Amino acid sequence: MSQESNKKRAPRNKTVTLSEEELDFYESRLLKLSTNFSPDELLNKTINQDLFTAIDFLPEAFVDLLFLDPPYNLTKTFNNNTFREQSLSEYIRWLESWFVKLLKVLKPNASVYICGDWRSSTAIHLVAQKYLNIRSRITWEREKGRGALNNWKNCSEDIWFCTISDEYTFNVDAVKMKRRVIAPYKENGTPKDWQETNQGNFRLTYPSNIWTDLTIPFWSMPENTDHPTQKPEKLLAKIILASSNPNDLVFDPFLGSGTSSVVAKKLKRNYLGIELERLYCCLAEKRLEMANEDSSIQGYAEGVFWERNTHPLTKNKPTPLLKEKDPTSLNLFQSGLKRPNNQLDK
């Protein structure tokens, strides 16, 4: 059954869905590998297959940026398939079973980003350090999550940033962040390290490994799908801008709803994704087509990343002034924009 007939949605709900016709249409674009493919044949494609099967048919040394967002070590259902929580050592063995085989696809100057929550992070660290140079561990704030009665609310995730060698791309100027200046200091009457604009006072800052400016996709964002663990486009934009150049190839073997491919396309990179579930592959293809019409990335504008809800043109959200001055609007923003409960935790 198509997604559209499954659920009733509010009129302002922008979630990307698929009709039966669209499913058939987008499925015809998907690849399945049963023989060796060249890099050109895989350019800007989505492979609908188990990674464990596809991996043998991938070429060598063709990827500039590998983004890995595998199932975390949690019991979680992805459409027709459920990933089951394992012991730490079993999860390490599972990671290694595909990770080692994937190394062949990387160019010598490639970068690798690996996502996990706090439970999976130990395993990722232990596997990554055996094969790669670990450069940093980014921690990002998932501002939503279930409150816990007997524990700290789980509100953060990790992304391990690794490279093959000491030669790698890192475009720091492309990932600077525009922050509101709290205490505008002037020297001889002129702003020191910040700009006065009619939209407010801002400073461009160097990006750190703590990311607190991300919003998990929700129903009124045009990037939203029903994928249970979809990453924000803004998160991918940071990674892709920092660690690749235009026309480079971004590869994501756990593509999900297609976020990495979509953002790669919007930022004029090439992409390749693998995903087990046909539904998610088709959602990825639909989002890729939508990117032809709208290449904007929420939270990234005018070549910089904006702190959450500070960009003056941000739609459907309180303006910065409202947010600061009107506690009601702040509460609305903090409590009202949540996913349904079943989508909160990875």
Ligand X SMILES: C[S@@+](CC[C@H](N)C(=O)[O-])C[C@H]1O[C@@H](n2cnc3c(N)ncnc32)[C@H](O)[C@@H]1O
* Residues of the shown chain interacting with ligand X in the complex, contacts defined by CB under 6 A: 50-52, 69-71, 78, 81, 227, 229-231, 254, 256-257, 259, 274-277, 280
Residues with Cβ within 8 Å of 13's Cβ and at least 6 positions away in sequence, in order, are: 219, 220
**Identity of the residue numbered 156:** S
Looking at the Cβ atoms of 83 and 333, the one nearer to ligand X is 83
Residue with Cβ nearer ligand X (203 or 278): 278
DSSP β-ladder status, 76-78 and 81-83:
antiparallel
Neighbours of 47 (CB within 10 A): 24
Torsion over CA: 235, 238, 241, 242 (sign)? negative
Is residue 321 within a helix (H) or strand (E), and if so which, with residue range? helix 320-325
Tell me whether residue 213 or residue 275 sits nearer to ligand X (CB atom): 275
Please report how close the Cβ of residue 232 comes to ligand X at its closest, in angstroms.
8
Main-chain phi, psi angles of 89, to 5 degrees: -70, -35
Distance between CA atoms of residues 273 and 253, nearest Å: 5
Query: Token pair of 163, please?
Result: 């490279």
**Closer to ligand X at the Cβ: 250 or 320?**
250
- Using Cβ positions, the residue closest to ligand X within the complex turns out to be 256
Identify whether the C-beta of residue 314 lies closer than 8 Å to the C-beta of residue 288. no
Terminal-residue alpha carbon distance, the chain: 25
- C-beta of 179 vs 231, nearer to ligand X: 231
Taking the least distance from each CB to ligand X, the nearer of 260 and 319 is: 260
Q: How far is the CB of 57 from ligand X (least distance, A)?
A: 13
Q: Which is nearer to ligand X, 254 or 305 (CB)?
A: 254
CA distances from 126 to 65, 132, 136, 254, 334 (A): 21, 11, 14, 20, 36
Nearest to 120 by CA among 81, 159, 163, 78: 159
The continuous run of DSSP H or E covering 210 comes out as: strand 210-211
